[in-house]
Amino acid sequence: MQPPRERLVVTGRAGWMGMGRGAGRSALGFWPTLAFLLCSFPAATSPCKILKCNSEFWSATAGSHAPAPDDTPEFCAALRTYALCTRRTARTCRGDLAYHSAVHGIEDLMSQHNCSKDGPTSQPHLRTLPPPGDSQERSDSPEICHYEKSFHNRAAAPNYTHCGLFGDPHLRTFTDRFQTCKVQGAWPLIDNNYLNVQVTNTPVLPGSAATATSKLTIIFKNFQECVDQKVYQAEMDELPAAFADGSKNGGDKHGANSLKITEKVSGQHVEIQAKYIGTTIVVRQVGRYLTFAVRMPEEVVNAVEDRDSQGLYLCLRGCPLNQQIDFQAFRGSAEGPGTRRPAAASPAPSAPDTFPYETAVAKCKEKLPVEDLYYQACVFDLLTTGDVNFTLAAYYALEDVKMLHSNKDKLHLYERTREPPGRAAAAGLPLAPRPLLGSLLLLPLLLVLLEAA
């Protein structure tokens, strides 16, 4: 299978976690339409500001389309403010579907609630910008821009998951499967309604099948009044502490500081907090190569429009079978007496004659005393690359798990998990052939049924 060509998706749709609220007016469909329009990407250079009008009205009314009788005057004032905003942007929104949908929706709501076109308007919300260098979140940041705070109205707290990629390369999925993969070239790690993460893996040595992550691209999608679309890119020897446009937060929107970058160690360790989706991302450069780790709520992980198209979403589905390497089988072959490199028939890549097996074990034991899969991955990487920095890559990957994983009983993994047949079918993976004997036993029964018919 050829790896997918490297491409960046810079437009699309970001889902909204409360879209069902206020969807009762399905007959006219304005409210679901407004929720959809709030979640759509405007063109980066479009002068039409209709999405700003939509967002301000949604914020002013808290998403309510059916106000209580006592609140009707305030609701009508918000509608008039909404109408005024659309008139101000009318000249630049000709032919814009979102604009025309908003105009018709306003007329419908004003008629339904007996609102007059003349009357007071609501006061705009004041936006207090933090002083320069202030890393604290704005005090007036909307609740929707803080994922955990939005859960106070829900029955259950969010359930967090973890995914990580490091070394030559080793993948820990959101379901705690642990795989060693080839995946040379560009591959999507995460692809959901809120962000895309893509990695590029290149050969560690000329002519070798051993690969490691040399480039990482993260796209945070435009999300309501919280953040503008932001792109973060890191490459070998270039781990920036800012987004591609030079900013360190989500832009100019009301809840911009719900997305921010913090440099932990210059050129080596960056942390990205996306509070509006409850997500933390850790990017490191260890030696020449990059590592990636993320903590993300299950609700965000599973926010995909078309699950059937997510077959190459590595953090969710894992690596394709033909891209996986059984490094535990390789370990058995490497443990033989006098063995310094994998046998020619081994599925593992060829290795330089640098580390004897005993030396690799000793170096990994220094950083990883527990003989779990991170320790085994460390040994594998030293034998296949000859680069001692891969010891630190495995060590920091486990440290990130300790920081990001919500289930402390699953910090250490010991056995590679294989997909059961049912899940393999759901993921589009080939199933093992059914035994021929069962089919032969059914054949006489079918003949009897045919004769009876």
| 398 Cβ contact partners less than 8 Å away, ≥ 6 residues apart | 368, 374, 411
What pTM value is reported for the model? Answer: 0.60
Tokens 């040994």, located at residue: 379
8 Å CB contact between 212 and 168: yes
| 66 Cβ contact partners less than 8 Å away, ≥ 6 residues apart | 22, 24
* pLDDT tens series, the chain, 453 aa: 444 444 333 333 233 333 333 333 333 345 544 544 444 444 444 578 787 788 778 767 765 555 666 677 888 888 888 888 888 888 888 777 788 888 888 888 888 888 888 878 765 433 333 333 333 444 445 678 988 877 655 556 788 999 999 999 999 999 999 999 988 898 999 988 899 999 999 998 877 778 899 999 999 999 888 999 999 999 999 999 999 999 999 998 888 999 999 999 999 999 999 999 999 999 999 999 999 999 999 989 988 766 555 446 899 889 888 888 876 555 555 554 444 333 333 344 444 456 789 999 999 999 999 999 999 999 999 998 889 999 999 999 999 999 999 888 888 988 765 443 334 333 333 333 333 333 333 444 444 444 554
- Identity (one letter) of the amino acid at 355? F
pLDDT for the residue 4: 44
Distance of CA 63 to the CA centre of its chain: 26
Phi, psi values for residue 190, rounded to 5°:
-135, 140
For residue 436, the SS3 value is helix
Q: Residue length, the chain?
A: 453
Phi, psi values for residue 12, rounded to 5°:
160, -160
pLDDT for the residue 303: 85
pLDDT for the residue 329: 58
- Identity (one letter) of the amino acid at 428? G
Cα separation of 299 and 16, whole Å? 11
CB burial of residue 240 (10 Å; 0-12, 13-18, 19+): middle
8 Å CB contact between 271 and 265: no
pLDDT for the residue 198: 94
pLDDT for the residue 430: 34
8 Å CB contact between 203 and 191: no
Closest to 279 (Cα-Cα) out of 167, 193, 216? 193
Distance of CA 55 to the CA centre of its chain: 24
Q: Where are the alpha helices (DSSP H) in 335-435?
A: 357-367, 373-385, 389-404, 421-426
Cα separation of 139 and 136, whole Å? 8
| 337 Cβ contact partners less than 8 Å away, ≥ 6 residues apart | none
- Identity (one letter) of the amino acid at 38? L
Q: Where are the alpha helices (DSSP H) in 235-388?
A: 298-301, 314-317, 327-334, 357-367, 373-385
